[in-house]
Structure 1
Amino acid sequence: MRDPVKMIGNLIDKQGVSFISSVDENGYPNTKAMLPPRRREGIKVFYFTTNTSSMRVSQYKYSPKACIYFCDRRFFWGAMLTGTMEVLEDSFYKEMIWQEGDTMYYPEGVTDPDYCVLRFTAEQGRYYSNFSSENFEVE
């Protein structure tokens, strides 16, 4: 793959759904569909919103190992990124990705104690297209 940042960035920006995975207390992977990341820095750092009370947050606090996946169902190609997920409850990050309408999920607004930010940092990736896969390092 010539330019993974450009190719995978374009894929991510066109998707309405992303998939995040965590590891439960028994070591099993758990995957969940989510809204797309609110913000990304290339294909290295991604920011998502979620409920502080969610099962996923407790799993990331237990084990930060994580995976995110994006796919284009129409053309059957996708990208998996593996790395770590941090749970951020700092007002700086909460305000950074807050959007109008978020009160639908977090009625108390940006200071809602059940609102937090997930920051994923990628280390490696795997790209799938045309019936073949390729690993790549994320820089």
Structure 2
Amino acid sequence: MSRNLINTADGLIKRSKMVMVGSVGEDGFPYQKMMYNARVREGVKTFYLTTNTSSLRVRQYRKNPAASLYFADKRFFNGLMLLGTMEVLEDAESKELIWQPGDTLYYPLGVTDPDYCVLRFTAKSGRFYSNFHSEDFEIE
């Protein structure tokens, strides 16, 4: 992947407040969900998101870790799809890594709430769309 494409993709991710998160259901169909963008990430490869342990998405990722993230910039009509795997993390270190004080709205028992977990997405490849052109790339 060219340095220019990495920088462009990184900029799109930084500007995105939301991300579409994809999973595969037991019926074999794709499922999409809008979530807040990752609070912590490592470039365009690793993303940490927060969700409810009791959620449909967590059940799906535990059975099939295949996942996707999609970022879009409607102003410039650009899109970035990342394909990879999703892990469900429930250890204290991962939960504390992305915890924010306002999270008690969703997880009233705090960082140790059993219904609070972390999703770690690791990208393997991507596809960037801009100016009527798409480019596939591998992520190392």
What range describes the TM-score normalised by the shorter chain of this pair? over 0.9
Superposed CA offset, 1:87-127 (max 9, x none): 00011000011012110110000000000000000000000
Q: How many angstroms does 1:5 deviate by?
A: 2.5
Give matches, 1:1-139, under 5 Å. 2-139=3-140
Q: How many angstroms apart in 2 are the aligned matches of 1:102 and 1:4?
A: 34
The one-letter code sitting in structure 1 at the alignment partner of 2:13 is I
Q: Match of 1:125, SS?
A: strand
The alignment's C-alpha RMSD in Å is 0.9
The one-letter code sitting in structure 2 at the alignment partner of 1:83 is G
Q: Match of 1:60, SS?
A: helix
Q: How many angstroms does 1:7 deviate by?
A: 1.2
Q: Match of 1:56, SS?
A: helix
Q: How many angstroms apart in 2 are the aligned matches of 1:4 and 1:45?
A: 17
Percent of aligned pairs with the same amino acid? 59
Q: How many angstroms does 1:13 deviate by?
A: 0.9
Q: Match of 1:10, SS?
A: helix
The one-letter code sitting in structure 1 at the alignment partner of 2:125 is Q
Q: Which runs of 5+ in 2 are unaligned?
A: none
Q: How many angstroms apart in 1 are the aligned matches of 2:119 and 2:41?
A: 12
Q: How many angstroms does 1:2 deviate by?
A: 4.3
The one-letter code sitting in structure 1 at the alignment partner of 2:137 is F
TM-score (norm 2): 0.96
- Following TM superposition, the consecutive aligned residue runs of length 4 or more in structure 1 with deviations greater than 2 angstroms are 1-5
Q: Match of 1:9, SS?
A: helix
TM-score (norm 1): 0.97
Q: How many angstroms does 1:3 deviate by?
A: 2.6
Q: Which runs of 5+ in 1 are unaligned?
A: none
Give the number of equivalent residue pairs: 139
Q: How many angstroms does 1:16 deviate by?
A: 1.3
